[in-house]
A and B are shown apart, each in its own frame.
Chain A
Amino acid sequence: MAHQSAEVDFRTRLQNWIPKLVLSPSLAAVLVFVYGFILFTLYLSFTNSKMLPSYDWVGFENYRKLWGLSHWWTAITNLAIFATLYIVICTAIGLTLAILLDQKIRGEGMLRPIYLYPMALSFIVTGTAWKWFLDPGIGLENTMHLWGWESFEFGWIKDRNMAIYTIVIAAVWQTSGFVMAMFLAGLRGIDNEILKAAQIDGASNWNLYRRIVIPLLRPAFLSAFVILSHLAIKSYDLVIALTGGGPGRATELPATFMYSYTFSRNLMGVGASSAVIMLMTIAAIMTPYLYAELREKP
């Protein structure tokens, strides 16, 4: 009807626009600084940029170069070893601690913050401590020798083949408490009546966990996996602080590879292509997860 549009008063129309106006700066920032930049880096990965961005299109040349570099292969292999061990060990420790802590433990309020505090610290800080702790000359090995265990050897951090495992140790130390908290929240969310019913059915504690509790923790496992894998791929600070990528290139990860190729070796095109591969790996894990999370809540 004719009068209808005239009746829509100014304030109502304004009210319809304000929310979008309020959201737009953040949205614009994200679109430019995240998605625009991703596109820019993607573009650079197809150019022969060296120290500065150039716009000479070279197609997949950088990717061909990248996958031909033994240095990149080291980084990828290290990431595979690191990510696998990091995820598995963190999940195992996290789940164990959560289950044990859930047994009406006296002093839980003391223990929980102790398990979790590493998460509040910078990797640079904890790396400093671990670097020193693992140093055979002054750290654990030396201490054991002084305590009389002369044959004790623990020089992984100086060992090309073993150094990556020291990164795993420090990273597990940092994050496993957090995984514990995730599982503990999951455990606390399980309906006790289910457990009581199973007990009445005669299930032992072992079976109770194996058959009922752990299957019910599926969402927590999924979250832990997603979070840990994306943390693993992004790991940068810890390597810098602990080994600086060394000895040699023994602990190089894609994150440190990208940084050194882009800013130290001045091969920006190659650096950009490695960043694109990192992004694609993370997107392959995060996108389905976020999609499922957001779809559940209409």
Chain B
Amino acid sequence: MFKQLPNDAAEKVEVILNQQTVLVPLGTTVAAMALAQGLRATRTTPVSGAKRAPFCMMGVCYDCLMIIDGQANQRACATYVRQGMQVETQQGVGPLLGDVL
């Protein structure tokens, strides 16, 4: 669906996307990275379980919510990749919070 044009000047970082390690230029948002890696849906909705993907890319639609470094409901389009970042597709409301929940 998408590809990322090469940018030799940019420093690359390792990001773990759904358990796969990928190399991504710094300055890329998580949403852009996910799309460029061929992820079609980045979450399912809590209401109907429908699949969703980034829509506005400017932080206003809240449809690109993903689990980033263990935290659910992060706007992937407003979060930039960092070395070692863990990114996961979010299912519904996301995982339980902590051990006792």
* Chains A and B belong together in one complex: no
Using CB atoms and an 8 Å cutoff, list the residues of chain B in contact with chain A: none
